[in-house]
Amino acid sequence: MKLLLEILPFVAEEACFALKGGTAINLFEWDLPRLSVDIDLTYLPTGRREEALASISEALGRIKTRIEDKLKPTRVTLVPQKDGLEAKLHRQRLRTQIKVEVNPVFRGHLLPIRSTSCSEKVQGMFGRFVETPVVSRGELFGAVARTA
């Protein structure tokens, strides 16, 4: 969990992404009902798929560079998809691995993005304050219901 909280600020620097999924719910909405090991992101701009995938790949590359520069020792890997562009990033330190994944199909958002702080329980347990863009509650819980 500490590894995940360490890299969230680097992800939050990319304005084209907002947090969604279980990590958003567990760390920013509820008081940590379960631990999270991945970071699911929504790519916010709308537009042509090819342009979006290229932009996603570039943004993940910038995140990779910042993490490698600031959090040593660490290994960050961009994971190529079928089209050769990256929509996933893996960060590993010793035996702990965190996945950052952008859904290349569901892009954009309908409702305003919120800048949200992690819950007080998360701050107390891990000694870290993290603030990041998160999709609206309607989209966050609607997406979870859609996948259930």
Q: Where are the domains of the chain?
A: 2-147
Compute how many other C-beta atoms are within 10 angstroms of the C-beta atom of residue 32: 17
Please determine, for residue 90, whether its predicted confidence score (pLDDT) is greater than 60: yes
Question: Tokens representing 16?
Answer: 């084209």
Beta strands in 14-143 (DSSP E): 17-20, 38-43, 75-80, 86-93, 96-102, 114-117, 131-134
CA distance 39 to 139: 16
Q: Per-residue pLDDT tens for 5-23?
A: 999 999 999 999 999 998 9
Mean pLDDT of the residues in the chain: 85
CATH topology of domain 2-147: Nuclear Transport Factor 2; Chain: A, (3.10.450)
* pLDDT at residue 44, as a whole number: 95
Please determine, for residue 34, whether its predicted confidence score (pLDDT) is greater than 60: yes
Alpha carbon distance, N-terminus to C-terminus of the chain: 24
- How many angstroms from the chain centroid is the CA of residue 127? 20
CA distance 27 to 122: 6
**Ramachandran angles phi, psi of 81, nearest 5°:** -100, -175
CA distance 132 to 19: 7
Q: Per-residue pLDDT tens for 104-120?
A: 778 888 899 999 999 88
Please determine, for residue 31, whether its predicted confidence score (pLDDT) is greater than 90: no
